[in-house]
Amino acid sequence: MKKLSFLLLCFMGWVSAQKLTSNELAIINQGDINTALPIYQTTDPNQHQTLLNLSNEIDPMDPNTITLVKRMKASLLSTDGGVGIAAPQVGVNRKIIWVQRFDKKDNPIEYFINPVIVWRSDIQNLGPEGDLSIPEFRDQFYKSKVIQLEYVDLKGQKYSEIIEGFTAVIFQHEVDHLFGILISDKKEKEKNDAYLKVDAYQKVKE
């Protein structure tokens, strides 16, 4: 009985957490639902703060969710070569991302609701990254080569995938956005990290 009450409490908390705020609804439903939403930029202080905020889960069955998903796709397609976008980048701190799947035939772009990376490989690749929200910024970053992702679709159906290579890099980048993590901040933090260089093949002195 206690277990049932606990699960009911968790469920009620989950449901209440999904409710979109009046501000979020205003952003999602402003203008034509078939048009792109403006992409937030770090150069604007208010937009920058939104990009730094944590995102909450969203109810996949809420009619407003499909509107947001649709408009996010339009926003991504409006860019010059963008390969991914997260909801905070259009002003809504909710867990939705779009990613171009270079690991699939014809490189489709696909949406993911409430995505969670449940496992990352220790093996990492170093490669270039940019960001639609950070003008003229590009640098080299380490990302796990392989990840396991769990997410739901607009019907609430749950999925789990193993994703590799450059597509895995895009997923990690977009999920970082849901935690308010920007690559420019990560690079700044790395500058302050101190590393001790060790020669792993140094011969032991006799």
What is the rounded distance in angstroms from the CA atom of residue 175 to the CA atom of residue 181?
Answer: 9
- The answer to whether residues 183 and 131 touch, using CB atoms and an 8 Å cutoff, is yes
Per the residue annotation, which of 174, 188, 190, 206 is the catalytic one?
174
What is the rounded distance in angstroms from the CA atom of residue 92 to the CA atom of residue 71?
Answer: 12
Would you call 174 a catalytic residue per the annotation?
yes
Strand partners, 54: none
Neighbour tally for 197: CB within 10 Å: 4
What is the DSSP secondary structure assignment for residue 119, as one 8-state letter? E
Q: What 3-state class would DSSP assign to 167?
A: helix
- The answer to whether residues 27 and 91 touch, using CB atoms and an 8 Å cutoff, is yes
Catalytic residues: 174
